[in-house]
Amino acid sequence: MTEFRPRGFQVLPLIVKNLLIINALVFLAQKAFEGSTGFSIEKYFALHDIHSVYFKPHQLISYMFLHGSFEHILFNMFALWMFGSTLENYWGPKKFLIFYLLCGIGAGALHLGVLYYENEMLIRDTYQKIASLGEGAQLEALKQMYIQINTSTLGASGSVFGCLAAFGYLFPNSLIYLYFFIPIKAKWFVIMYGAMELILGIQNSAGDNVAHWAHLGGALIGFLLVLYWNKTNRRKFY
């Protein structure tokens, strides 16, 4: 957990406030429909691999408003408030909303690219393997392939990582308090967090269901956007 104390900024600006409300309402709707056999919010609005029968283009936007657990949404919304409030006050609501959505879309696009490659390998390996298996084992292998291909991705983490990258670029010397106690400059926090995500993404450990490449995609888009928007004012840091 981290803490940042805004200096003279509005604590809860318009877009951040509405994003918090929308994400909370969607999460409540997810819980309301949880276990329902008639309708699944995640099936239609979470992000699915292009190989999946459930993939739809609108999921590149809708997925960032869904979350998998209370801890998931709590962490993302806390980070959105902590970094997004400062950015919105710095840029204004319109520019911040554009930034937030582009980071989320970019994160989803990079994640889809990684998923496409992984699932292409999975499909190839599965069909090569089942030729030497018995009927029961063949069905189990195909079932596992189907489950993996249709696994969904959801959460605002890509957009939040974009906010984190932009904050680290614009306010590199601002202090972030790890666990509300240990101070660290924003630029070092962003670099360390990004390096950790890159290592975890490359390792791709079994059982790790965190979309590390989506996080990196959001951070990359966030950094490129703020670099472009700030190209005439690169020497002004806080």
Please report the pLDDT score of residue 207 as a whole number: 45
Specify which residues 175 forms β-bridges with.
185
Helix (H) or strand (E) holding 92: none
- The three-class DSSP label of residue 47 is strand
Q: Compute the residue count for the chain.
A: 238
Low-confidence ranges of the chain (pLDDT < 70): 1-9, 36-38, 178-181, 197, 201-210, 232-238
Domain boundaries, the chain: 14-229
pTM: 0.86
d(CA 38, CA 34): 10
| Contact in structure between 160 and 147 (CB atoms under 8 Å) | no
Cα separation of the two ends of the chain: 22
Residue owning tokens 């805004």: 6
Q: Which residue has the tokens 């509405």?
A: 18
Angstrom distance (rounded) from CA 234 to CA 65 = 32
Superfamily holding 14-229: Rhomboid-like (1.20.1540.10)
In this structure, the number of other CB atoms found within 10 A of the CB of residue 89 comes to 18
Tell me the C-alpha to C-alpha distance, in Å, between residue 78 and each of 1, 72, 111, 179. 9, 10, 23, 13
Look at residue 34 in the predicted model and tell me its pLDDT.
82
What per-residue confidence (pLDDT) applies to 186? 79
Closest-CA residue to 60 (of 214, 226, 209): 214
- State the sign of the Cα–Cα–Cα–Cα dihedral 185, 191, 194, 196: negative
| CA angle in degrees (0–180, nearest 5) for 191-195-201 | 145
State which amino acid sits at residue 161.
F
